[in-house]
Amino acid sequence: MSWARAAYRSRQFLGAVRARVGEDERAEVAARLTPQEQSLFFSMDLSDQRHALDVFRMLKANGQRDASLLAAALLHDVGKGRITVWQRVAFVLLNAVSPRLLCRLASGHGSGWRGALARSLDHAERGAALAEAAGSTLETVRLIRLHRAPAGDDAALGMLQAADEGS
């Protein structure tokens, strides 16, 4: 892991520990998402809500107005479910040091630490399924499903990924 990447992860960790969501931001989520999508958003850990709002704000600051893209920004990590700080740290470290070990330790069942690792690994697919069940647009579901895949020539996906990495 490079020093720049380590510094980024350190800032991300500190941001997660100090995460807050204001009433004005809650109102903006309510204005942007359907009631079913809002339930998904507010089911996320506070740190994931904060991150999603940061991605959303970055896209808006860059002039994006597409409703499906902005909804995907708010919901892209919903598939992670509830994950503790130490489980997030374990996931990041294992993924950097030994992705094979991470895959071996991850178990798709249960709410324990192995289940948290599994949810982190396949959160894009899980999140897409949740968004689809909540009635999100096909484009929102597609962007959530692919947000960890190579963007190629997909401009909307590239914008979502750039905002995700930049926040």
Q: What total number of domains does the chain contain?
A: 1
d(CA 83, CA 38): 19
Out of 44-48, 63-67, 155-159, least confident range: 44-48
Q: pTM of the prediction?
A: 0.86
Q: How many Cα atoms within 13 Å fall on the side-chain side of residue 161?
A: 16
Work out the burial of residue 33: count CB atoms within 10 Å of its CB; fewer than 13 is exposed, 13-18 middle, 19 or more buried: buried
pLDDT at 82: 87
d(CA 69, CA 160): 7
> What residue numbers bound the domain in which 94 lies?
3-166
Name the pLDDT band for 67 (thresholds 50, 70, 90): very high
| Higher local confidence (pLDDT), 130 or 19 | 130
pLDDT at 6: 54
d(CA 126, CA 40): 12
Per-residue model confidence as pLDDT tens digits over 9-58: 555 555 555 667 889 999 999 999 999 999 999 999 999 999 999 999 99
pLDDT surpassing 80 at residue 149 = yes
d(CA 117, CA 106): 5
Name the pLDDT band for 167 (thresholds 50, 70, 90): confident
Alpha helices in the chain (DSSP H): 3-17, 23-32, 35-43, 46-61, 67-75, 85-97, 99-105, 113-121, 123-133, 138-146, 155-166
pLDDT at 85: 86
Do residues 49 and 21 touch, judged by C-beta distance below 8 A? yes
